[in-house]
Amino acid sequence: MNSKRVISNEKAVACLVLISLFMAVAAGNFYNDFDLTWGDGRAKILENGQLLTLSLDKASGSGFKSKNQYLFGKIDMQLKLVPGNSAGTVTAYYLSSLGSTHDEIDFEFLGNLSGDPYILHTNVFTQGKGDREQQFYLWFDPTKDFHTYSVLWNSQVIIFSVDGTPIREFKNLASKGIAFPKDQPMWLYSSLWNADDWATRGGLVKTDWTQAPFTASYRSFNAQACTWSSGSSSCSSKSNNDSWMTQSLDTTGQQRIKWVQKNYMIYNYCTDTKRFPQGLPPECSLA
Ligand SMILES: *[C@@H]1O[C@H](CO)[C@@H](O)[C@H](O)[C@H]1NC(C)=O
Ligand SMILES: *[C@@H]1O[C@H](CO)[C@@H](O)[C@H](O)[C@H]1NC(C)=O
């Protein structure tokens, strides 16, 4: 009887451990989801795994990387960017596979002088080839509060969104001979670094190191995604909602993307005829 009791206590403890582990995972915990990969202590996980910060000073920037590799997913993260004079700094937040034929889905935030607008720079690489930049101003100050930056990536489309508003769509046009990222699992990365040779007004405005350290913050990571490990994929479906797998832009989404592109897009490779004198990339006329 005594030994039975001991066993059931052990079971109860194991059960509690499992429940709390599950809750930590469900809440999105930076300790579980990410490794701090560089920056020698400048990247920090705080508040029991609910907050992550990156910092940059003259000696180094910092960065983190997901533990998981993803092959399709809807991935959300809230970011609060470097406040004040952030000129010269770049906060990169992206999905990428490895190697010379890598695929990549990029958000990069280019800092600016106090009061001047950040640029949100986006790009899509397929089979190692990028050159698909689109840049935007934001319709809010991204340094005052956290805002949600999302990538929806399924077999048909990649949609970049900001606070749920789609800003960019990259369709699967493989049937027209245009490569689409669909075979290479990607890690999620973020880093904060100095790029004052090009980032702000094309490199005219330099980083003011008297303002260092510069800090960007992250919270509320959420991935409804297929994770890839040792050659096979497993698709989590919290609340059994797999709608992201087939999601595309609905009519409202199309209207909102038009609104963003009309009012906030400041560069589009698809209209840069000077840059592509031999003709614009093929997806530009098909999209
Ligand atoms: C910084 O502000 C200037 C002046 O408003 C603007 O031209 C530029 O696009 C802004 N952003 C960056 C990253 O240079
Ligand atoms: C599933 O998620 C989508 C958004 O990704 C939402 O619009 C839809 O209502 C959800 N469906 C259910 C049954 O929760």
Q: For the segment 199-252, what is each residue's pLDDT rounded down to a tens digit?
A: 999 999 999 999 999 999 999 999 999 998 888 888 876 556 789 999 999 999
Instruction: Scan for tokens 């599950």, then name that residue.
Output: 22
Closest-lying ligand to the alpha carbon of 247? 2
Q: CA-CA distance, 168 to 90, in Å (whole number)?
A: 20
Assign 3-class secondary structure to 19-58. Answer: HHHHHHHHHCCHHHHEEEEECCCCCEEEHHHCEEEEEECC
Q: How far is the CA of 243 from the centre of ligand 2 (A)?
A: 6
Q: How far is the CA of 74 from the centre of ligand 2 (A)?
A: 12
Q: Residue 29: count other Cβ atoms within 10 Å of its Cβ.
A: 17
Q: CA-CA distance, 19 to 194, in Å (whole number)?
A: 42
* SS3 call for 84: coil
Alpha carbons within 13 A on the beta-carbon side of 238: 13
State the first-to-last Cα distance of the chain, in angstroms, to the nearest integer.
Answer: 71
Closest-lying ligand to the alpha carbon of 118? 1
CA-closest candidate to residue 228, choices 140, 118, 98, 41? 98
Structure-token pair, residue 193: 């670094």
All structural domains of the chain: 32-286 (2.60.120.200)
Rg (CA), the chain: 21
Report whether residue 243 contacts ligand 2, using a CB cutoff of 6 Å.
yes
Q: What is the pLDDT along the chain (287 residues), one digit of tens a residue?
A: 444 455 456 665 565 555 555 544 445 799 999 999 999 999 999 999 999 999 999 999 999 999 999 999 999 999 999 999 999 999 999 999 999 999 999 999 999 999 999 999 999 999 999 999 999 999 999 999 999 999 999 999 999 999 999 999 999 999 999 999 999 999 999 999 999 999 999 999 999 999 999 999 999 999 999 998 888 888 876 556 789 999 999 999 999 999 999 999 999 999 999 999 999 999 999 86
Task: Report the residue among 241, 244, 252 best suited for mutation to probe ligand 2: largest number of ligand atoms under 8 A from its CB.
Answer: 241
Report whether residue 200 contacts ligand 1, using a CB cutoff of 6 Å.
yes
Q: How far is the CA of 194 from the centre of ligand 1 (A)?
A: 16
Mark whether 104 is an active-site residue.
yes
Mark whether 47 is an active-site residue.
no
